[in-house]
Protein backbone atom coordinates (compact mmCIF):
# COMPACT_ATOMS: atom_id res chain seq x y z
CA UNK A 1 0.00 0.00 0.00
CA UNK A 2 1.21 3.45 -0.89
CA UNK A 3 0.57 6.44 1.34
CA UNK A 4 -0.83 9.48 -0.46
CA UNK A 5 1.82 11.66 1.20
CA UNK A 6 4.53 9.63 -0.57
CA UNK A 7 3.24 10.37 -4.09
CA UNK A 8 5.25 12.67 -6.34
CA UNK A 9 2.90 15.60 -7.03
CA UNK A 10 1.32 16.81 -9.25
CA UNK A 11 -0.64 13.68 -10.12
CA UNK A 12 -3.01 12.79 -12.91
CA UNK A 13 -6.30 11.65 -11.38
CA UNK A 14 -8.64 9.64 -13.60
CA UNK A 15 -11.88 8.97 -11.76
CA UNK A 16 -13.70 5.68 -11.97
CA UNK A 17 -16.12 7.19 -14.48
CA UNK A 18 -13.23 8.47 -16.62
CA UNK A 19 -13.19 12.15 -15.65
CA UNK A 20 -9.65 13.48 -15.64
CA UNK A 21 -8.08 16.08 -13.37
CA UNK A 22 -4.68 17.26 -12.21
CA UNK A 23 -4.26 17.29 -8.43
CA UNK A 24 -1.32 19.38 -7.24
CA UNK A 25 -1.25 18.52 -3.54
CA UNK A 26 -2.18 15.82 -1.06
CA UNK A 27 -5.07 18.00 0.14
CA UNK A 28 -6.47 18.36 -3.39
CA UNK A 29 -6.33 14.61 -3.92
CA UNK A 30 -7.91 13.71 -0.58
CA UNK A 31 -10.67 16.32 -0.43
CA UNK A 32 -13.97 16.02 -2.28
CA UNK A 33 -17.66 16.67 -2.00
CA UNK A 34 -19.98 14.25 -0.24
CA UNK A 35 -22.01 13.85 -3.43
CA UNK A 36 -18.96 12.96 -5.53
CA UNK A 37 -17.85 10.42 -2.94
CA UNK A 38 -21.32 8.89 -2.77
CA UNK A 39 -21.50 8.67 -6.59
CA UNK A 40 -18.23 6.71 -6.70
CA UNK A 41 -15.72 9.31 -7.89
CA UNK A 42 -12.90 7.34 -6.29
CA UNK A 43 -14.14 3.85 -7.08
CA UNK A 44 -11.49 2.20 -9.30
CA UNK A 45 -9.85 5.60 -9.89
CA UNK A 46 -6.35 5.69 -11.36
CA UNK A 47 -3.65 7.95 -9.92
CA UNK A 48 -0.45 8.53 -11.92
CA UNK A 49 2.25 10.47 -10.14
CA UNK A 50 4.91 12.76 -11.60
CA UNK A 51 7.36 9.85 -11.82
CA UNK A 52 5.01 7.64 -13.85
CA UNK A 53 4.08 5.33 -10.98
CA UNK A 54 0.43 4.36 -11.16
CA UNK A 55 -1.98 3.34 -8.42
CA UNK A 56 -5.56 2.12 -8.26
CA UNK A 57 -7.78 3.45 -5.53
CA UNK A 58 -9.04 0.39 -3.69
CA UNK A 59 -11.01 2.36 -1.13
CA UNK A 60 -11.81 5.87 0.05
CA UNK A 61 -12.76 6.37 3.68
CA UNK A 62 -14.10 9.62 5.09
CA UNK A 63 -11.88 10.77 7.95
CA UNK A 64 -13.23 14.25 8.58
CA UNK A 65 -14.55 17.45 7.14
CA UNK A 66 -12.74 20.27 5.41
CA UNK A 67 -12.43 23.37 7.58
CA UNK A 68 -13.85 25.85 8.17
CA UNK A 69 -17.51 25.21 8.99
CA UNK A 70 -17.17 21.41 9.07
CA UNK A 71 -17.16 21.14 5.30
CA UNK A 72 -20.34 23.09 4.66
CA UNK A 73 -20.41 25.40 1.62
CA UNK A 74 -23.17 27.69 0.41
CA UNK A 75 -23.16 26.57 -3.21
CA UNK A 76 -21.54 23.14 -3.19
CA UNK A 77 -21.98 19.82 -1.43
CA UNK A 78 -20.31 19.35 1.92
CA UNK A 79 -16.54 18.85 1.61
CA UNK A 80 -14.88 15.84 3.24
CA UNK A 81 -11.32 14.70 3.83
CA UNK A 82 -10.48 11.16 2.78
CA UNK A 83 -8.03 8.43 3.51
CA UNK A 84 -7.26 6.64 0.24
CA UNK A 85 -6.22 3.02 -0.01
CA UNK A 86 -3.82 2.97 -2.99
CA UNK A 87 -2.57 -0.23 -4.57
CA UNK A 88 0.42 -0.11 -6.89
CA UNK A 89 -0.47 -0.62 -10.55
CA UNK A 90 3.13 -0.54 -11.80
CA UNK A 91 5.20 2.09 -13.55
CA UNK A 92 3.91 3.50 -16.81
CA UNK A 93 5.97 4.83 -19.69
CA UNK A 94 5.01 8.04 -21.45
CA UNK A 95 3.05 6.29 -24.21
CA UNK A 96 0.96 4.37 -21.68
CA UNK A 97 0.20 7.58 -19.77
CA UNK A 98 -0.82 9.29 -23.01
CA UNK A 99 -3.15 6.38 -23.78
CA UNK A 100 -4.86 6.65 -20.38
CA UNK A 101 -5.22 10.43 -20.69
CA UNK A 102 -6.51 10.29 -24.28
CA UNK A 103 -9.04 7.59 -23.38
CA UNK A 104 -10.34 9.66 -20.46
CA UNK A 105 -10.72 12.72 -22.70
CA UNK A 106 -12.53 10.72 -25.39
CA UNK A 107 -15.00 9.40 -22.77
CA UNK A 108 -16.03 12.96 -21.84
CA UNK A 109 -15.49 15.19 -24.88
CA UNK A 110 -18.20 17.65 -23.79
CA UNK A 111 -16.19 18.48 -20.65
CA UNK A 112 -13.12 19.40 -22.68
CA UNK A 113 -15.15 21.36 -25.23
CA UNK A 114 -16.50 23.54 -22.43
CA UNK A 115 -13.16 24.35 -20.75
CA UNK A 116 -10.73 24.84 -23.63
CA UNK A 117 -10.70 26.88 -26.81
CA UNK A 118 -9.34 24.07 -28.96
CA UNK A 119 -11.05 21.25 -30.74
CA UNK A 120 -10.92 17.78 -29.27
CA UNK A 121 -8.70 16.63 -32.12
CA UNK A 122 -6.23 19.46 -31.42
CA UNK A 123 -6.03 18.50 -27.76
CA UNK A 124 -5.51 14.84 -28.57
CA UNK A 125 -2.85 15.75 -31.12
CA UNK A 126 -0.99 17.88 -28.57
CA UNK A 127 -1.14 15.04 -26.06
CA UNK A 128 0.31 12.58 -28.57
CA UNK A 129 3.14 15.03 -29.36
CA UNK A 130 4.07 15.76 -25.72
CA UNK A 131 7.80 14.97 -25.43
CA UNK A 132 7.77 14.25 -21.69
CA UNK A 133 5.46 13.60 -18.79
CA UNK A 134 6.18 17.09 -17.45
CA UNK A 135 5.12 18.58 -20.80
CA UNK A 136 1.95 16.50 -20.64
CA UNK A 137 1.21 17.71 -17.10
CA UNK A 138 1.80 21.31 -18.20
CA UNK A 139 -0.56 20.83 -21.14
CA UNK A 140 -3.31 19.37 -18.97
CA UNK A 141 -2.90 21.99 -16.25
CA UNK A 142 -3.21 24.88 -18.72
CA distance 13 to 89: 14
- Residue 34 has what pLDDT? 81
- Residue 134 has what pLDDT? 92
Do 124 and 140 touch, CB atoms closer than 8 A?
A: no
Phi, psi of 22 (to 5 degrees): -105, 130
The pLDDT tens digits for 37-94 are 888 889 999 999 999 999 999 988 888 766 555 445 556 667 888 999 999 999 999 9
pTM: 0.86
121 vs 55, higher pLDDT:
55
Amino acid sequence: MKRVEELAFPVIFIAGDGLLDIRNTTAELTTTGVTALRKGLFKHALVIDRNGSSYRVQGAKRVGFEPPFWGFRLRYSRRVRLELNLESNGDLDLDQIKTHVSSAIRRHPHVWDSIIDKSLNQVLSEISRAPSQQALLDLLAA
